[in-house]
Structure 1
Amino acid sequence: MSFQYFLLGASLLALLAANPAHADTLESPGADGGDSEMIVVTAQKREQSIVDVPISLSAFDAEMLDKIGADTLEDVSLYTAGFEVREQSVGAPGFIIRGITSDGIGEQRVSIYLDGVSTSSVAASAFELYDMERIEIAKGPQSTLFGRGALIGGVNVIQNKAGDNFAVRASAGVGDYGYRMAEAMANAPIADDLLAVRVAMKWRKRDGYVENLAGGTDFNGVDTLAYRGALRFTPASGLRFDLIYNREENTPRGGTGFKSNVFLPRDPVSGAVLGDTKPHSGVVLGSFAGLAGDRLYIDRTLKDVTLLGAWDINDVLTVNSITSYRKYRNVEAFDPDGTFMNIIAGVGESWGDQTTQELRLTYDNKGAFTGVIGASYVDLANSDRYLFQFDERATALLFSGALQPSAPMGLTQAQILAALGPLAGALKPAHQDDSTFGGAAKTVDIFADGTWRATDRLSLTAGLRWTHDDKTATVIGTLPNGPSRLTRGGIFFQPTADGALLSAEKSFSGWSWRAAAQYELGDNFNAYLSYNRGRRSPALNISATAPASVAPAELVNSYELGLKGTAAGGKLLFEGAVYYFDYSNFQTVKTIDGTLTTVNAGEAEAYGFETQVQANATSWLQLFANYSYNHARLTGGAYDGNSFRNAPDHSFSMGAFVTVPVGNAAEVYFNPTYSWQSRFFFDDDNDRSDLQPADFAVDEVQKAYGLLNLRAGIRTPDQKWRLEVALKNALDAKYVIDAGNTGDNFGIPSFIAGQPRMFTAEIGFQF
């Protein structure tokens, strides 16, 4: 444990207090660049100025989201200290807060919320951003306020609701890589102060940027259609309901461009070399033997309906209700070995649904005490199916070590058969492992949180949550075309006895809590100290080959010291925080005897420092910058000292928003932004040779890199119309968003390239 870093960060905060040279992207700049309108957030389940919340919190309003050109949370993460998003595909994102990763199967450590409703599964947690009100990113354990899945942070995406004004907005865009986009919104009152309706949609399509060297559809494309309908009903003064329906369809052809760095891409028949082994160049991929129709693709659908209710009983008490039903299905056919050879092909399928009900009572008499009590019920079920297909002839050469010496050329099918000789006829051209892992939970939460203003300057906050889970875990494993002739069972996943569905049930209960003190050092300048106990529910495992087991609850104690506020009449905004996390029973997922199993990896710790800055320098210039140092490490067992996957130690971003009037009829704007991150590993084993039974190359690491994004345009001062051009990754930086993957289990890791430089042009109007 390294408290010297915690104390160093505290010293830096003390210097910040003495000379507030840092500011935070906390407010929207005024039109004249003067005083800003403070963003109101609901991270503590009640409306508050962001400066008054004793939590490290980043908030993006609609104006800021537009300025940075945010289509997804991955775009938002580039400009948020301590928050990283890596989207392997739309159904497989990874979320990292303060160096701790949350992805894969099981309950999440970072939960993504849509209007206060958890998205419940990684496969359903990446979605299109459009017609947004704001996004709140709370860092540090939020189990008390947010509940399940917010062990190290929570992200709440708040959509615009129907209002009593008439408004229309539309935009369209084109670009390279076949980019096309259309977005529209209309809001209208149906009956004044009684009923209003709002509809919005966004369609975004782009061809893949990883070239298919064999011809046909390129990989890593985008094809998204999202639409929303919202209805506001205000039957009486102080009583209102918002009914919201969302649907999103993601159907990019080609799927994910996994790229081997071991074998060259070649024509499977002629053997002609078509490219090189660099992650950013073209690939030759495909399914085989009829799996998924010999196609690679992604097909995902999200649907949810939410009813938000609010009743102002009187000037002091308000009742809030959230009722929601959410359903998703994601299918991806992929070539995980990343080579031209028919070794492995796969289909991953995830589906699930969730019903949520929450009731809260908020007390606020504008006096010394404000607080909230509430209860919630969640009924969810998620399933993950993995169908892997192996050509046993190529797999036999891979397992025996006879395929690797053929690198980098690899072997055509004819060469594989020749290398095997008579053995080729005894092996199956297509063996299949088919396993489905299911998890269901019925969860009851009871929580309370309140703030007491002890003096004019000192406020004390405390919160407590009790959670009870009734969990069910299931597994079913089959071998659709019989046992493998190589293993006499499964190759990657093992079957359950007689292909039966196995299940286990167990109940768990536990507490999480928080305490915080906030002190006003001056007008709009606050310091806070907090302690949070976060809890991730025990994981119930059911194995195809062993009895049910439980990984104990993952617990984290978090200590944080922060400063936030404004200066120079609201033109300067700042936030800084130092923190320390202490984990016990850290849960990680391993494949044990052909079953995905959550196991106890022991202890872990994280400490760091974050600061964010925003300055409205003049009426035409706004600047921002942030920096994050996150030292997150496993501290026990074979992985002792290793950093977490996808987690750089250092990251920063900066940008400027420049607006120059052109007469009285128009203004030109220019928004350059830059983000940078230090090197990071793609797996918790940190690519160490002693922890990799099959792959001994140290190559699954991303070196430090930066991304420059540029946006410029012309618009009317009232923004009724605009014409805009943009470059993402303007310097065409080469980087990788994922490495290792399924092929890493067999010593042939694959890599997924990040987006190259891309150009777009858009036109829009609103009235």
Structure 2
Amino acid sequence: MTSFVRSILLATTTLASAATGIVPARADIMEPTATAAAATVAAEAPQESPSSVGTGASDRSGEIFVTARRRQESSQDVPVAISVVGGEHIDATGSFNVGRLQQLTPTLQFYSSNPRNTAVNIRGLGVPFGLTNDGIEQGVGIYVDDVYNSRVASATFDFLDVAQVEVLRGPQGTLYGKNTTAGAINITTNQPTFDFEGKAEVSLGNYNFKQAKAAISGPLSETVAARLAISTTDRRGTIYNVTTSQWIQSQDNLGLRGQLLWTPTETLDITLAGDFSAQDANCCGSVYVRTGATQRALNRQFEALAAAQGYAPVSRDPFDRRTDLDTPLQAENKIGGASLRVKWEVGPGTLTSITAWRFWDWDPSNDRDFTGLPIVSKSQNPSQQDQYTQELRYSYSSDTIDFVVGAFGFYQRIDTQGTEEHGAASSRWSIAPSNPLSNDPATLNGLVAYNTQYLKNTSAALYGQLSWHVTPELTLQPGVRLNYDKKEGFYQRRVFDAAGNEVLATRTPTALQAAQLAIFTPQEISPSFSDWNFSYDFTASYKVAPDVLVYATYAKSFKSGGINQNGVPLAQDNVTPLYDVATVKPESVYHYEAGLKTQFWDRKATFNLSIFRTDIKNYQANVNNGQFGVLRGYLANAGAVRSQGVEVDFSIRPSERFNAYANGAYTDATYRKFVDAPCPPELSGGTTAQVGQVPAAPGTPGLSPANCDISGERLPGISEWSFSFGAEANRPVSLLGREGEVYFGYDGSVRTNFSSNPSPSAYTWIDGYSLHNFRAGFRTEGGFDVYAWLRNAFDEDYFEQLFVGPGNTGLIAGLPGDPRTWGFTIKSNF
């Protein structure tokens, strides 16, 4: 069905794009802008101003308007560090999901080994780096048309008919339903219109890349309008699996969105929306990168274990882009939902109600040993998630006072059924050679663990923010939030041998039981957590001049406590779960920020500056114990974390023929106190040192520390320096009898090195890299556009992530970033 829809869409949008491209341009159709609201206001503006900082060079509209504070206003008047990326620039740069958006916004970090294990952070904060644990909240809220998306898997889908994306940096909890301690991504889609309009777009490129998008909008009656949008993306993978003779890391995305707008009166708008997205890629895998010495016995490290079974990686050069994973890969991903938004002009303000239901179905299969050996023969944790949200808010604006007050309710249910099984190579790989059981494949072959878990997550909040314009220049803005959270979880792991006999935990296991329990340990826990929290913020802003705004913010926020939804470590008897670590304390967040927003040169140039510091107590960290199946990962509170830095955004538009931007960030994000952190691989794998014993040197077999002090080390995933920059120039021409302009655009990004492990390791630092993208084309005022594009133009070799292999063998696997890609796009608005 997906293939049929894709073929039909590709054919029809190609015909539509080509056909509309030869129709004479209509003077009554306005050129695309970064946002529909901006189009109206820009037409009335006395003079053109550059795009809002961060929008990128191809957005050719005037002043950019945002809804960051739940009301429409110029981004330069908002005392918040904010980047705005218009829909036009999203299309032009191929930034069709949040992951690609990070190349345009330096302080946004996106890491994804698969849709479930996805992290979206801002300024290094948000969610822990590593395997996803459903028992905690996001620190970065993702909103699509005011609807909160609780799972970051939504960030892996293609943007669908997007008008603009706002990236708000810093705590935003007094304005949004869910508490967003690190920031928010506010995505606005194009809305139904009472004038008929449409657009079609087709892209083709190397790696068999095919992408098609289409949208149509118009009236159904005098009071009802509708909009329908569809998109599809398909691309061959970039890594070749020699075991299955398949290309992996492919793209196979389908998205649908429909909206109905009913305006029974001039003061009442009702919008019913529904969407569905599906991914069915041949994904997700990795390649061999290197091995690093650990503190395991030499005959239990990767090179010796591989040699003992006659195994060698298919390639030791990761940028050969070849792998030999032997477990079938699968990443079926479906997400969607429906929402009802009611906006009613009540008295002097606006009452808004948003009722929404969303679902996420995840059906994966992974190769958790990262090799071509049948060590872990099956690893899959299908998950089904439903969420229900209700938000009610009232907003009011006047010359003296603006305010927003709201109430938010949230309920989420997650069910997961996991299966992990070991194969014929596991015994020799996982059991010490001195143990006779290591020579018998039947010891671990067929050993299977079935994991059953569910989570019930309930949240409710009252929030509000007031802006008091003391004078036309001075505004004081306090905000408050009262929040209640409750989480109830269940986790059960049952273990069976190949004959179907249940393996039970025991304090006096036999040799066979001990070998099997070292791989999978049965466990059952029912953790729960509930808490009330109060948070607040205060911002003072002052207009030094009509186009110069300075502001300062202090925020005391929190991120809800959580539960260890994937199990907990065991006590020394290897039987009893450590119930005291089943729950995780809330994060306490203290945020300080000062900023400057200014426009000059007759508003042809924009310069914004922000300086920030965020201190977090009881930081929620994701840690692993390094074993295959004893515990995939669990949550713990680090003592303290600090993120501080400087962000600079600059854009310039001296004329309609040229515009450019440059954004940069310095981010110093470190563990201030984490004295009992998990150790990196070079300090792991040996016998645990007891009190008075001295651990061996890093990478030397012998004693290993029970834990490590990583205070002062950098947080994972954070580059100290990151930049994005670009420009576009155009020139009027007449081509094929049509008046228009030829243009050339460039977008680049640079970042310095970063750690790809929660505890920094010499083996998992990723070198800094730069990416350079070009485009050139011809467009008309009527909305016809055809252009060629080149991304990662210089074919830079870089890693998106590195992974520490299980078992402390020293194996490091990785996910290479996309190589050079090229293609062309034809699109038209009508």
How high is the TM-score relative to the length of structure 1?
Answer: 0.86
Who is 1:612 aligned against? 649
Q: Match of 2:245, SS?
A: coil
Give matches, 1:591-602, under 5 Å: 591=624, 594=631, 596-602=633-639
Letter in 1 for 2:260: L
**Stretch deviating more after TM superposition (729-738 or 423-432):** 423-432
| Residue 634 (structure 2) pairs with residue 563 (structure 1) | no
Letter in 2 for 1:537: S
State which of 704, 728, 733 in structure 2 corresponds to 1:657: 728
Distance 2:438 2:124 in 1: 52
The answer as to whether partners of 1:55 and 1:139 remain within 8 angstroms in 2 is yes
Return the offset for 1:136: 1.0
**Cα deviation code 1:287-329 (max 9, x no counterpart):** 2xxxxxxx21110000111111100123x21100111000001
Letter in 1 for 2:733: V
Q: List runs of 5+ in structure 2 lacking aligned partners.
A: 1-49, 292-301, 505-511, 569-576, 676-708
The answer as to whether partners of 1:26 and 1:50 remain within 8 angstroms in 2 is no
Distance 1:392 1:521 in 2: 72
Residues 149 and 562 of structure 1: is their aligned pair in 2 closer, same or farther, counting only changes over 3 Å?
same
The answer as to whether partners of 1:91 and 1:124 remain within 8 angstroms in 2 is no
Q: Match of 1:639, SS?
A: coil
Q: Match of 2:90, SS?
A: helix
Letter in 1 for 2:345: D
The answer as to whether partners of 2:342 and 2:352 remain within 8 angstroms in 1 is yes
Distance 1:655 1:123 in 2: 29
The answer as to whether partners of 1:24 and 1:624 remain within 8 angstroms in 2 is no
Q: Match of 2:602, SS?
A: helix
Return the offset for 1:743: 3.1
Q: Match of 1:38, SS?
A: coil
Return the offset for 1:627: 0.4
State which of 130, 142, 161 in structure 2 corresponds to 1:131: 161
Return the offset for 1:141: 1.4
Who is 1:102 aligned against? 127
State which of 413, 424, 427 in structure 2 corresponds to 1:381: 413
Q: Match of 2:246, SS?
A: coil
| Residue 325 (structure 2) pairs with residue 301 (structure 1) | no
Distance 2:486 2:311 in 1: 55
Return the offset for 1:524: 2.1
Return the offset for 1:395: 4.5
Distance 1:458 1:645 in 2: 39
Letter in 2 for 1:712: A
Give matches, 1:498-537, under 5 Å: 502-537=525-560
Equivalenced residue count is 702
The answer as to whether partners of 1:382 and 1:439 remain within 8 angstroms in 2 is yes
Return the offset for 1:138: 0.7
Distance 2:68 2:520 in 1: 42
Who is 1:630 aligned against? 667
The answer as to whether partners of 1:111 and 1:118 remain within 8 angstroms in 2 is yes
Q: Match of 2:241, SS?
A: coil
Aligned residues with identical type, % of pairs: 24
Letter in 1 for 2:484: H
**Stretch deviating more after TM superposition (546-555 or 108-117):** 546-555
Letter in 1 for 2:793: A
**Cα deviation code 1:691-734 (max 9, x no counterpart):** xxxxxxx2211111000111121222332x22221111111111
Runs of 4+ in 1 over 6 A off after TM superposition: 27-31, 266-273, 419-422
Return the offset for 1:594: 2.9
Distance 1:503 1:422 in 2: 35
Distance 2:453 2:728 in 1: 48
State which of 450, 454, 467 in structure 1 corresponds to 2:466: 450
**Cα deviation code 1:544-564 (max 9, x no counterpart):** 623364322101111100001
Return the offset for 1:90: 3.2
The answer as to whether partners of 1:743 and 1:750 remain within 8 angstroms in 2 is no
| Root mean square deviation of aligned Cα | 2.7
**Cα deviation code 1:35-83 (max 9, x no counterpart):** x632221222222221121111111222232332221111211111311
Q: Match of 2:273, SS?
A: strand
Give matches, 1:302-451, under 5 Å: 302-314=335-347, 316-345=348-377, 346-364=379-397, 366-391=398-423, 393-400=425-432, 423-424=439-440, 426-451=442-467
Q: Match of 2:551, SS?
A: strand
State which of 169, 173, 191 in structure 1 corresponds to 2:203: 173
State which of 106, 115, 119 in structure 2 corresponds to 1:90: 115
**Stretch deviating more after TM superposition (268-277 or 69-78):** 268-277
Residues 753 and 487 of structure 1: is their aligned pair in 2 closer, same or farther, counting only changes over 3 Å?
farther
Who is 1:483 aligned against? 503
Return the offset for 1:382: 2.6
Q: List runs of 5+ in structure 1 lacking aligned partners.
A: 1-21, 288-294, 403-418, 688-697
Distance 2:808 2:389 in 1: 38
Who is 2:573 aligned against? none
Return the offset for 1:215: 4.8
| Residue 318 (structure 2) pairs with residue 278 (structure 1) | yes
Distance 2:431 2:80 in 1: 51
Return the offset for 1:398: 4.2
Distance 2:277 2:111 in 1: 20
Who is 2:607 aligned against? 574
Return the offset for 1:755: 0.7
Residues 276 and 597 of structure 1: is their aligned pair in 2 closer, same or farther, counting only changes over 3 Å?
closer
Distance 2:278 2:362 in 1: 10
Residues 239 and 747 of structure 1: is their aligned pair in 2 closer, same or farther, counting only changes over 3 Å?
same
Residues 658 and 652 of structure 1: is their aligned pair in 2 closer, same or farther, counting only changes over 3 Å?
same
Residues 657 and 420 of structure 1: is their aligned pair in 2 closer, same or farther, counting only changes over 3 Å?
farther
Distance 2:457 2:612 in 1: 32
Letter in 1 for 2:439: L
Distance 2:808 2:269 in 1: 54
Who is 2:256 aligned against? 227
The answer as to whether partners of 2:616 and 2:641 remain within 8 angstroms in 1 is yes
Distance 2:650 2:66 in 1: 18
Q: Match of 1:75, SS?
A: helix
Letter in 2 for 1:75: R
**Stretch deviating more after TM superposition (431-440 or 103-112):** 431-440
Letter in 2 for 1:180: K
Residues 658 and 272 of structure 1: is their aligned pair in 2 closer, same or farther, counting only changes over 3 Å?
same
Residues 279 and 150 of structure 1: is their aligned pair in 2 closer, same or farther, counting only changes over 3 Å?
farther
How high is the TM-score relative to the length of structure 2?
Answer: 0.80
Distance 2:460 2:231 in 1: 36
State which of 53, 58, 68 in structure 2 corresponds to 1:25: 53
**Cα deviation code 1:230-273 (max 9, x no counterpart):** 11011111100111111000001243234353479x99999797
The answer as to whether partners of 1:254 and 1:297 remain within 8 angstroms in 2 is yes
Letter in 2 for 1:87: S
Distance 2:277 2:203 in 1: 20
Letter in 2 for 1:449: Q
Distance 2:89 2:634 in 1: 41
Letter in 2 for 1:173: S
The answer as to whether partners of 1:588 and 1:598 remain within 8 angstroms in 2 is yes
**Cα deviation code 1:609-633 (max 9, x no counterpart):** 0011110122211100000001000
| Residue 789 (structure 2) pairs with residue 726 (structure 1) | yes
Distance 2:646 2:320 in 1: 33
The answer as to whether partners of 1:670 and 1:710 remain within 8 angstroms in 2 is yes
The answer as to whether partners of 2:224 and 2:260 remain within 8 angstroms in 1 is yes
Letter in 1 for 2:156: A
**Cα deviation code 1:406-425 (max 9, x no counterpart):** xxxxxxxxxxxxx9799325
**Cα deviation code 1:337-383 (max 9, x no counterpart):** 2221111242132321100000001122x221010111011011234
Distance 2:453 2:395 in 1: 40
Return the offset for 1:494: 2.7
Letter in 2 for 1:427: T
Residues 169 and 267 of structure 1: is their aligned pair in 2 closer, same or farther, counting only changes over 3 Å?
farther
Give matches, 1:58-69, under 5 Å: 58-69=83-94
Distance 1:670 1:296 in 2: 40
Distance 1:728 1:318 in 2: 44
